[in-house]
Amino acid sequence: MRIAVVSTNNKEVNGSFGQSDRFLIYEKKKDGLFLVGERFSEPMVVDYPDREMCDWIADIIQDCQEVYMARICKVAERAVASRGITPVVYQGPIDKIIC
């Protein structure tokens, strides 16, 4: 399973979906998480969840089955879910994500 992770330090899930300038992409397997790349994004304007921008960001990770982040607004959550991606609100170490 492929997942996207929002992290500002490559160690913890600690960022907001719409404020992220990149997503770490992992393969989630029974024996752990394996970093396979990263995708770059444009952070949204704070306090203004633009639907088209949320759709654009969701398209960046459309091949992922899950996205992990500390926060997500309702507009972005709908954009992600409409692409079959499960949004997971989690804050903590990336290596503690359950495989």
Tell me the mean pLDDT in the region 28-49. Answer: 88
Q: With cut-offs at 50, 70 and 90, classify the pLDDT of residue 65.
A: very high
Asked if residue 99 has pLDDT above 90, the reply is no
What pTM value is reported for the model? 0.94
Tell me the mean pLDDT in the region 50-77. Answer: 95
Q: What is the dihedral of CA 83, 48, 50, 61, to 10 degrees?
A: -40
For the chain, the average pLDDT equals 94
* Superfamily per CATH, domain 2-96: Dinitrogenase iron-molybdenum cofactor biosynthesis domain (3.30.420.130)
pLDDT tens, position by position, 50-59: 889 999 999 9
Identify the pLDDT of residue 47. Answer: 62
Tell me the mean pLDDT in the region 73-82. Answer: 95
Tell me the mean pLDDT in the region 12-23. Answer: 94
Report CA-CA distances (Å) from 67 to 17, 53.
9, 17
Radius of gyration of the chain (CA): 12
